[in-house]
Amino acid sequence: MTGEEPSAESPLFDAAIRDDDVLELARQDTTWLSTGWRGGRTTADAAYCLTVPEGWACEDLAWFVDDRLRERDVDPERVAAAAGGDAPVLLTGVAMRHARGARLGPVEAYATAGVSNPAALPTEPDALREPAVANGGDGERDDGLPDGEYVPGTVNVVVGTTRDLAPGALANLVAVAAEARATTLLDRVGFPGTTSDAVVAACDPDGDPAAFSGSATRVGAAARACVREAVGAALDARYHEDDPPASVDDARYGVRNDSKAIVFEP
């Protein structure tokens, strides 16, 4: 790969949906940075988005990933990489027929969008509550923070570029994608994310070098547009017959973070 920008004739990823519950995004010897399960920086030939069953609960995610990918006739070496943590894997309750992609300039992005578990973040002072001293003033404070995780929905994003990003630029691409996702969700459904969102960023180590990926760069600007379009299209695909929840109260799951942190000068 030499940094050629993706097009309809020459896409960045070789994308394939397998039986509506596996999305394979393949590109040989790609550098990935994932915030999902067994995340971090890796080099692999593919990343995967997997649909989990209704009411799913699994204590052995490696077994689940291995079993699902083998059932879908994924190449055994790629199965081993995914189950072993060397290839990115994102999980969601959304069927892969609702996944959507977008490309612009040196960037291509894919998204799945399920918002049954919104994570609202009120910003109005009157909506926030001070940490309360609990148990008769024994010093323990109720900070209102959740103790568990909610995973039925998820807005997952995979964004890649033909450029060879510096380590900091690849990490920043995760932030750029998350910002674009949050902006799109705020506009479309009124909250910035769900309780289990994740991002995978990718770059081509044989591409033209790029030291930065901020919003003023070609990579960053293209990524913002691609994520916006992919997330919006994925929402339309998932909710074409019914409306997404308008608030946490309307959703099946979700959280509202109205806890107020203590502010201080360093």
Within-domain flag for 37: yes
Q: How many CB atoms lie within 10 A of CB 233?
A: 17
Structural domain contains residue 261: no
- Give residue 108's domain range: 14-239+246-256
Evaluate whether residue 8 is within a structural domain: no
Q: Give 32-68 pLDDT, tens digit per residue.
A: 999 999 999 999 999 999 999 887 777 899 999 999 9
In the numeric block, which tokens belong to residue 99? 């996944």
151 domain residue, yes or no: yes
Asked whether residue 6 is assigned to any structural domain, the reply reads no
How far is the CA of 85 from the CAs of 66, 156, 202, 207, in angstroms? 11, 18, 16, 25
Q: How many CA atoms lie within 13 A of 219 on its CB side?
A: 30
pTM above 0.85, yes or no: yes
- Whether the per-residue pLDDT at 77 is higher than 70: the answer is yes
**206 pLDDT tier (thresholds 50, 70, 90):** very high
CATH number at residue 34: 3.60.70
User: Is residue 187 scored above 60 in pLDDT?
Assistant: yes
Output the average pLDDT for the chain. 90
Answer yes or no: is 1 within a domain: no
Q: What is the pLDDT of residues 123-181, one digit of tens each?
A: 886 767 776 544 444 555 566 666 665 455 689 999 999 999 999 999 999 999 999 99
- Residue 32 domain-assigned (yes or no): yes
Q: How many domains, the chain?
A: 1
Examine residue 262 and state whether it is found in any structural domain, yes or no.
no
Q: How far is CA 145 from CA 124, 131, 150, 243, 259, in A?
A: 18, 10, 13, 29, 7
